[in-house]
């Protein structure tokens, strides 16, 4: 599928949308697709011998995934690498949409959305490096960690204050739920002890 060049170069203008338009987009989001290395982690890859790869995850990102799911939003992880550590983390959080070894993230994003019956106008995509540019310039909302590549930060709708692996995914979910008007109710429920946050 040939890229839509007009939409590609129009994407940075999204950052100048009026707040009411951003809120409308937030309410439309049904699917969050996130890169792993550089968003859920700090991007470092640690090898423990020939077969073991170690990744460090932030527990606050885990809670964010649970809260998004609670709000009826599907969370998908999309990475060009393959890692047993990522498989375990997804399993712990009940993330069924785990897509590893993706050579083209735009095509895989389109496949995920189509299979789930979601349009790209209902997708929030989080990425940190050049392979994420394709999907980021075509979805409703895109988000980039504070330490993302400059080109990625430039096109991101939401330029996050948190770095990858330091709560970036938590920040974007909290912002999404706030703009949907759902955050305060979640906080009140958690404060009342009515939500169990296990396996984070």
The model's confidence at residue 197, banded by pLDDT at 50, 70 and 90, is: low
Measured distance CA(137)–CA(115) in Å, rounded: 20
| Residue 9 included in any domain | no
Scanning 39-122, the segments in alpha helix (DSSP H) are 59-70, 84-92, 105-116
| Residue 200 included in any domain | no
Tell me, what CATH number does 113's domain have? 3.40.50.1000
pTM reported for the whole predicted model: 0.85
Report the domain count for the chain: 1
Answer whether residue 35 shows pLDDT above 60.
Answer: yes
Q: Are strands 123-126 and 141-144 parallel, antiparallel or unpaired?
A: parallel
Domain that holds residue 139: 18-191
> What does the angle CA 192 – CA 174 – CA 112 come to, to the nearest 5 degrees?
115
pLDDT digits over 45-68, tens only? 888 877 788 899 999 999 999 999
| Residue 182 included in any domain | yes
pLDDT digits over 65-100, tens only? 999 999 999 999 999 999 999 999 999 999 999 999
């Amino acid at each position: 599928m040939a890229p839509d060049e007009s939409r590609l170069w129009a994407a940075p203008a999204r950052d100048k949308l009026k707040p009411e338009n951003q809120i409308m987009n937030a309410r439309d989001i049904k699917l969050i697709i996130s890169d792993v290395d550089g968003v859920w982690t700090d991007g470092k890859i640690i090898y423990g011998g020939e077969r073991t790869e170690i990744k460090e995850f932030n527990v606050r990102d885990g809670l964010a995934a649970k809260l998004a799911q609670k709000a009826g939003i599907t969370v998908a992880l999309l990475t060009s690498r393959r890692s047993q550590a990522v498989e375990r983390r997804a399993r712990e959080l009940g993330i069924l949409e785990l897509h590893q070894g993706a050579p083209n993230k735009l095509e895989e994003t389109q496949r995920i959305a189509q299979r789930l019956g979601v349009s790209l106008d209902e997708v929030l995509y989080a990425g940190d490096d050049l392979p994420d540019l394709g999907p980021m310039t075509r979805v409703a909302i895109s988000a980039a960690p504070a330490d993302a590549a400059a080109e990625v930060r430039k096109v991101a709708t939401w330029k996050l204050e948190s770095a990858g692996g330091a709560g970036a995914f938590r920040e974007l979910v909290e912002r999404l739920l706030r703009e949907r008007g759902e955050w305060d109710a979640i906080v009140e429920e958690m404060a009342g002890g009515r939500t169990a946050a296990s396996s984070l």
